[in-house]
Amino acid sequence: MKRIILRQIGLLATVALFTATGCGGCGNDNNENQNPNNMENNTSPNNTTPNNTTNCTAGEVGCACDADGGCAEGAACSGGMCVGAATSGLSVSSDLARSCEILLEEKGGKVLGATYGEGLKGALRRQSPNVAIAISASSDAAFPASVASIQIEGDASSVSVKEARCFDAAGEEIGDAEVTLK
């Protein structure tokens, strides 16, 4: 048990170190959709665009994000505005995995946020062109088929897994665990 706690502290330290090296615009570390709710661009209560030229429905592409910082399907909140976004599933090949450290690389697309699978906790930090994600199971149970849904602005294939390490319940690294983004 002590080893598991030390491994989880190590995962959090990795994300903290990544953040301390100049991570600007970092997201939250919870199990909810990690999209900022920045309403600075919403200049009027009837949800018009910043220039007040077009009526918009909050949550639609090109309009302000809704009151909860969300957008309609196929869109994600970025800077208080809804932008077109693709969703890619992040999966781990090993049933032994209880936590993973993942480094995504942006090659044209931009990671906007992540939603973590049932029974998982996660943290996402970005320092373009890299995005660090730490995921751990809330209990000693195998990860679900999709550990996270990653929202990407632009072409989803322009974001890839650069590095990944996964660990078992004892905190030992799993050498053959493969992390994929589809």
Looking at per-residue pLDDT, the higher value among 72 and 120 belongs to: 120
Domains by residue range for the chain, with CATH = 2-36+84-181 (2.60.40.680)
Q: How many CB atoms lie within 10 A of CB 15?
A: 20
CA–CA distance, 182 with 180 (Å, rounded to integer):
6
Q: What is the DSSP string of 65-81?
A: --TTS---TTEEEETTE
What average pLDDT is seen over the chain? 78
Q: Is 146 exposed, middle or buried (0-12, 13-18, 19+ CB in 10 A)?
A: middle
Model pLDDT for residues 44-96, shown as the tens digit of each residue: 334 444 544 568 899 999 999 999 888 988 888 888 999 988 889 999 999 99
The predicted model scores a pTM of 0.66
Model pLDDT for residues 128-160, shown as the tens digit of each residue: 899 999 999 999 999 999 999 999 998 889 999
Number of residues that make up the chain: 182
Residues 113, 76 contacting (CB under 8 angstroms): yes
CA–CA distance, 74 with 42 (Å, rounded to integer):
20
